[in-house]
Structure 1
Amino acid sequence: MNRPEPAAFHTVAESEQKPVVLTGDRTTGPLHLGHYLGSLKNRLMLQESHDQFVMLADAQALTDNMNDPARVRENVLAVAMDYLAIGLDPEKTTICLQSALPALSELSMLYLNLVTVARLERNPTIKEEIRLRGFERDIPAGFLCYPAAQAADITAFRATVVPVGEDQLPMIEQTNEIVRRINRQTGVTLLPEAAPMLSRIRRLPGIDGRAKMSKSLGNAIALSASPQDISHAVKMMFTDPDHLRVSDPGKVEGNVVFTYLDAFDPDQEAVAALKSHYRRGGLGDGTVKARLEALLQAELAPIRERRAAFETDPEKVRAIVAAGTRRAQKITQETLDMVKSALGLFCL
């Protein structure tokens, strides 16, 4: 079978006016403030300037949740509702279901022939996640092979921009290694390399002071949190354990309340004044927490209200996801056909 001429290959980014961005979330639970600050707010801006695809990553969630697939299934619509509640517009952002895109699985299979087990095990992101989950050598094969699956996700949409946290940079590099291998082997620039987009706020800590806000650690504030939940979470926030009396000087560094004020308070001059006052003493934790709670209540109230409206009409949400998935199926299948043809594989 003859391969098409190089001119026959094109990417979505070349054929459409807007560059392509791919992002998404594992469907293991409702989204929280860490997601909101780290990626969701960026997506609101990106949908105005990019052809944005947001993936409900249920297949990837199964790599370490296969013992509880119901948890993954039940959270598909929950995460989709969070997307819509924060303002993602399905007319501008394609929301799609990962497991309903068969081209991704076939691309993953192809890419696994281009990487070694040793290279997968050296991936710093995978190594850290294996450590955190205590897998040791009992690593689910799907989990170990996730970098190849993520490369399939990114390249299937011919994405040129991928918003990620700093800890995910090795995943983007491994994707680009696969892209370069494919392009060398086919002799054409078949797939574009992806550029990471880092958030201004690299990571929002959990309310307990841990480095990472996480659903599984129980230290997160959900986007759908009730006013009572928000109030309780702020009251429980880690501050300075040595700040025992209002008159005591306090530490701002590592103080979760001030970290959140840095992230959410639009009046940074006032925050700077509060920090100075706290450092010299005379400012109680309760006063600072009250300011933060007021900000979070105002930020989350409209999101919670919009989400409640979507909860009353889950079929509408399902229809939005289905429509986005149909568009994604067409694009990802086109990429798979293009890759197979360029590699000289037999196609019916």
Structure 2
Amino acid sequence: MGKIILTGDRPTGKLHLGHYVGSLRRRVELQNSGQFEKIFVMIADAQALTDNADNPEKVRQNIVEVALDYLSAGLDPERSTLFIQSQVPELCELAFYYMNLVTVQRLQRNPTVKAEIQLRGFAENNAEEEETAAQQRPGTPVGFFTYPISQASDITAFRATTVPAGEDQEPMIEQTREIVHKFNSVYGETLVEPEILLPDNAACLRLPGTDGKAKMSKSLGNCIYLSDSADEVKKKVMTMFTDPDHLRVEDPGKVEGNTVFTYLDAFSRPEHFPKYLPDYASLDELKAHYRRGGLGDVKVKRFLIAVLNETLEPIRERRRYFEQRIEEVYAVLRTGSEQARREAAQTLNDVRRAMRIDYFEDGELIASQAEAYKNKA
């Protein structure tokens, strides 16, 4: 079997630079490399509804936004299957079967689940605090709590060997591997165990928000979106967090933890310097000057603005093209969802057969039981 990719995003808003460097840019590169037999890219609307159940319209409206970002970034429907999670009901059935292979205690230990529960303000599963917590904040929806199982269903349904993702998703992939191992141990070799493919640039593992917070997040309002205009990018970069102790140009500055330099690590290339900052031969030279003092934040930020806008302009141009062809975008998603459903149905058939619940397809079972009851009579 060839190598297969499964990856995707929740449609809770437009995609931002964190999505781009963490996974989306790599997906396009892998798509164009020709190394993979199949590539499935999912808009995870069912997963988004686990913590947006009271606002389905938000998810509904953002389906096309994410699809536009995919197409604008360079994903090609001829080489990658773009689909909507909820349109592949086989995924729900697989997840239901996998639930019997995972304990509540194991889900509670999942670091990603714990972090996301805290981020969204859900109540912890603590019986002593249950009544108080219920009054102060909502409890954790079961669907949200079990989304590592749903994610395992998504990955295994397409027999994915590779999942391009950021480091925050490593616990989720490990959970999938555990489910695959457990299923194969109980029912026989059926499912494929996936590997995570992390960004090869350390700065891309988790791009910070413009405010210096550890993670770029729509809910924190610290994002630069792929669809932002050149002016919006400029405005956001100029307010970006730097070294708080670098008060004067002549002061020595810190590069580590400086958001502007983290972004330059993720986006700048050697050819950018002769174009936009010819005083420096490389990023290392720019960093050295900043560390010893004599280099102001504004100059560095202007360089970053030029770099980001050069990166984003082709994406903006393609987005403008697809925004005038929304019917075609939905046609791409419909075709992709139909193809994804056929693939998932094949895996589900194998799973049902392995679990011995393919009753109507097992002619030998029916014949043997019929013969047994005839003999009994």
Tell me whether 1:332 sits opposite 2:316 in the alignment: no
Pairing partner for 1:235 from 238, 242, 263: 238
Tell me whether 1:33 sits opposite 2:17 in the alignment: yes
Contact residue 101 and residue 328 of structure 1 kept, 8 A: yes
Tell me whether 1:49 sits opposite 2:50 in the alignment: no
2:369: which partner in 1? none
Pairing partner for 1:89 from 66, 76, 81: 76
Q: Which amino acid aligns with 1:49?
A: Q
Q: Give secondary structure in 2 for the equivalent of 1:113.
A: helix
Q: Give secondary structure in 2 for the equivalent of 1:180.
A: helix
Pair member with larger Rg: 2
Corresponding residue pairs, total: 331
Per-residue Cα deviation, 1:35-55 (whole angstroms, up to 9, x for no partner): 111111110122132111000
Q: Which amino acid aligns with 1:287?
A: K
Q: Which amino acid aligns with 2:211?
A: D
Separation of aligned partners in 1, 2:16 and 2:148: 24
Q: Give secondary structure in 2 for the equivalent of 1:345.
A: coil
Pairing partner for 1:266 from 252, 266, 269: 269
Q: TM-score, normalised by structure 2?
A: 0.86
Tell me whether 1:62 sits opposite 2:86 in the alignment: no
Q: How does 1:62-141 map to 2 (within 5 A)?
A: 62-137=49-124, 138-141=139-142
1:11: which partner in 2? none
Deviation at residue 93 of structure 1 after TM alignment: 0.4
1:217: which partner in 2? 220
Which deviates more, 163-172 or 289-298?
163-172
Per-residue Cα deviation, 1:267-297 (whole angstroms, up to 9, x for no partner): 2852111111111111111110111101111
Q: Give secondary structure in 2 for the equivalent of 1:309.
A: helix
Deviation at residue 347 of structure 1 after TM alignment: 4.2
Tell me whether 1:316 sits opposite 2:328 in the alignment: yes
Per-residue Cα deviation, 1:310-339 (whole angstroms, up to 9, x for no partner): 111100000001111110000001111110
Aligned sequence identity (%): 56
1:293: which partner in 2? 305
- Hey, which bits of structure 1, 4+ residues long, moved more than 3 A? none
Q: Give secondary structure in 1 for the equivalent of 2:223.
A: coil
1:160: which partner in 2? 161
Deviation at residue 136 of structure 1 after TM alignment: 2.0
Separation of aligned partners in 2, 1:248 and 1:184: 61
Which deviates more, 155-164 or 266-275?
266-275
Contact residue 340 and residue 347 of structure 1 kept, 8 A: no
Contact residue 126 and residue 144 of structure 1 kept, 8 A: yes
5+ unaligned residues in a row in structure 1: which ranges? 1-13
5+ unaligned residues in a row in structure 2: which ranges? 125-138, 274-280, 361-377
Deviation at residue 346 of structure 1 after TM alignment: 3.9
Q: Give secondary structure in 2 for the equivalent of 1:63.
A: coil
Q: Give secondary structure in 2 for the equivalent of 1:23.
A: strand
Separation of aligned partners in 1, 2:230 and 2:284: 27
Separation of aligned partners in 2, 1:296 and 1:122: 38
Separation of aligned partners in 2, 1:247 and 1:341: 71
Q: How does 1:174-185 map to 2 (within 5 A)?
A: 174-185=175-186
